[in-house]
Structures are given as C-alpha cells and as structure tokens.
Structure 1
Amino acid sequence: MGCALSGLDIEPAKAVPDERRSAEESTSRWIPEEECTTALQATAAKSLQLSEAQKQLIQESWRILQQDIARVGIIMFIRLFETHPECKDAFFLFREIDDLQELKMSKQLQAHGLRVMSFIEKSVARLTQEDKLEQLATDLGRSHFKYSAPPKYYQYVGVQFIDAVKPFLKERWTLEVEEAWEGLFAHITTLMNKGYQEAERGSDMKKSANPEKADTFSIGSIQNSV
C-alpha cells in the first residue's frame, strides 16, 4: 500500500494536459506506505511548531501549576480512566482495579502521575530547544513500545491534562493558553508516535533477521511470566 501526498513540501509533477495523462502518470506520486508515514510525520511536526507567544504562555502557566503537580497527575489519570477505561489495558498495575477511589489512593498511580508531570516539566524546559524536545518525546515513544502502550492512547493524555489544570489556573486560564497547550501536546504526540513506530520497525527487523532467536525469546518470556 501507499499514499498520494498533496500539500507537503514535495515538488509536484509538472502539469500535463488531460488528454496526455496516462493511468501510469496519474499514479506517479503514489509512494510506499513507510515513506508516506515518514513524510506525514515530518509535515505534522513542522505544522505544530509553537510561536514564541505560545511558548511564553505555557511557561507562565506551568510555573503556577508546579506546586500542585502531584494532585494534577492523579486527577489527570482518574479522568483518563473514567473517560477511556480501555486505557487501563496499557497499565499492568491498574488493569484489574475498577474502584476509582482505590485508584486515587494508589501509590503506584501517584508515582506514575509524577513521572508524567516530570516529563511535561522537561518538555516545557525544552520549548526553546526544539531538537532536545524532539529527542525527549521520540525516546518516550520508543520506551512506550517496550511497555506495549500503543499510540492510540497518547492523544487522550493531553486532553485530560488540560481539563485537570483548568481549575488550578482559574481566571488565568484563557483560550490562548488552552490552544498553546493543545499545540504542545499535539507536537509531543506526533513525536511519540514517530518514536514508537521506529522501535516497532526495529523490532520487526530483528525478528526477521533472527527468527529462531525471536521464537526462543518469546518462549522464555512466557515461561518467566508464569
């Protein structure tokens, strides 16, 4: 499979009169799916760059939120599990806990919430160093592949973070602040997705190169998990 790219930074083919355009020529911009994914990711990342004003809004609001990051982390994940209970499948420790009150008291959930807040803090600190922000988010996406946490869940975290922090910022929360945070999370999600896919492709290549070793590893993993 593949895709036809339009509106990207790709030089278009020269215009050809309709009567001369053959079926073969009409598909000349159809490219393999892997190349398409890479091009789309690059374009998405470029289109999600934040303005200096947006970066400043994020930094200013984060300074207010810093004193409540533990509470924000818990609220964010409780909201996430309330609105998207299927997300718990990506969390081995919380998968069997249905009582939200029990989840609120979970030390493991508090610890994970703090780790996510720490990542957001690092992202905010790297807003003026986009190459470091890209590396940070891409690496996180790669690590999520190891944890079997697929990209389909990433977009929910930003939405729940924004809902969780609104009450803390009160009148300081404006439409401009919300759009800035949405832009940051959209950018991070794109980069995490990129990292996850890179790790997935690397894993598939290793399995293809060493099928016997991959089978042995799988059996060993099952045995060790019992």
Structure 2
Amino acid sequence: MTPDQVKLVQQSFAKVAPISETAAVLFYDRLFEIAPQVRAMFPADMTEQRKKLMMTLAAVVNGLANLDSILPAASALAKRHVAYGAKAEHYPVVGSALLWTLEKGLGEAWTLELAEAWTAAYGTLSGFMIAEAYGRPQAAE
C-alpha cells in the first residue's frame, strides 16, 4: 500500500464510523447473501459480532500506516477464525462483501481510486492472515 492509499482508507473509514451499526448490518447481510454456507459459523444474535467487526476494522484502519503494530493481533485473529471453521477460500468472499458495503455506505464518495486503496488494504491484511492461519499465502481480492 502506498501512503496515499493508507490516507484514503483512513479518511473514508472516518465517514463510515458514524454509521457503523448500519454498515455492519449491510456487511453481514451481504456476506450471508453471497455465501450462505458461512451463516452457521455465526451466532443467531449478531449484535456483539457486528460491534466486534467494526472495532476490528477501526483498529486495522488506524494501524495501516504502521502495519507491524497490527500484525500480531491479525495473526491471532486469523488463527481464531480457523477454530470457527473459516477457510482460506472465505477471505475473498469477505473482501467482496466488505467492498460492497463500503460502496453502499459511502455512496458518491466511493471512487475507483478508493476501491483500489481498500482492495490493496484488504489484500495485504488477508494475505498475511491466510499465511498465518494456513501456512500459505493466497490472493484474496
């Protein structure tokens, strides 16, 4: 990721944060629509899960300028996801749901440049997490 991409991701997330509950609902609704098989990995009541998602996203976005600061937590998260039944092939689906959510949440502010920045951020982090959890890097775009 370039410094400009980091800045774009951080600025855009600042616009999403005030609508975090709505964004989390959009994300999980989209995820379960495009990958219904993953629904069983989640609790019936998604309230806490949605909060965790947005807190994790905020921590990652805030740490993008200093990736080394967030990699230990990302590694631990990746390993926990294995225990929940997550597989490497789920990462691209999650990325797709995330980008879709951001596009819907940001509306006209969603540009090709912003999509590329978020794709780079997600690709960097998910590639690392896949390698940590499964021992092999895999493209996750």
Structure-2-length-normalised TM-score = 0.87
Greater Rg by CA = 1
| Aligned-pair CA distance for 1:51 | 0.1
Shift of 1:136: 2.2
Q: How large is the Cα RMSD of the aligned pairs?
A: 1.5
Partner of 1:112: 49
Cα separation, 2, equivalents of 1:137 and 1:154: 13
Q: What's the CA shift for 1:80?
A: 0.8
| Alignment map for 1:187-202 (pairs within 5 Å) | 187-197=124-134
Q: Distance in 1 between matches of 2:125 and 2:11?
A: 19
| Aligned equivalents of 2:105, 2:134: Cα separation in 1 | 35
Residue 124 of structure 1: SS of its match in structure 2?
A: helix
Change in CA separation of 1:148 and 1:84 when aligned onto 2, cut-off 3 Å = closer
Shift of 1:146: 2.4
Give, in whole Å, the separation in 2 of the partners of 1:82 and 1:195.
27
Higher-helix-fraction structure: 2
Task: Give 1:14-53 correspondences, 5 Å limit.
Answer: 50-53=1-4
Asked if residue 68 in structure 1 is aligned to residue 5 in structure 2, the reply is no
Q: Distance in 2 between matches of 1:54 and 1:178?
A: 10
2:61 pairs with 1:124: yes
TM-superposed CA distance for 1:52, in Å, is: 0.5
User: Which SS does the other structure have where 1:150 is aligned?
Assistant: coil
The answer to whether structure 1 residue 164 and structure 2 residue 101 are counterparts is: yes
Residue equivalent to 2:29: 78
Pick from 109, 113, 127: which aligns with 1:176?
113
Q: Is the 8 A contact 1:80 1:160 kept in 2?
A: yes
**Which structure exhibits the higher relative contact order, with contacts defined as CA atoms closer than 8 Å and separated by 6 or more residues?**
2
SS at match of 1:151: coil
More displaced, 160-169 or 78-87? 160-169
Deviation at 1:148, TM superposition (A): 2.5
Distance 2:78 2:109 in 1: 31
SS of equivalent to 1:137? helix
CA deviation string 1:111-170 (max 9, x = no partner): 212211111110011111111222222111111122232222122112111111223222
* Distance in 2 between residues matched to 1:168 and 1:76, nearest whole Å: 10
Q: What is the alpha-carbon distance in structure 2 between the residues aligned to residue 144 and residue 164 of structure 1?
A: 21
Secondary structure (helix, strand or coil) at the match of 2:97 reads helix
The residue that corresponds to 2:139 in the other structure is none
Q: Which structure 1 residue ranges, 5 or more long, are not aligned?
A: 1-49, 95-107, 199-226
Deviations 1:163-202 (CA, angstroms, capped at 9, x unpaired): 112232222111000011011111121121122125xxxx
Q: Does structure 2 conserve the Cα–Cα contact (< 8 Å) formed by 1:126 and 1:132?
A: yes
Gaps of 5+ in 2: 136-141
Q: How many residues align?
A: 135
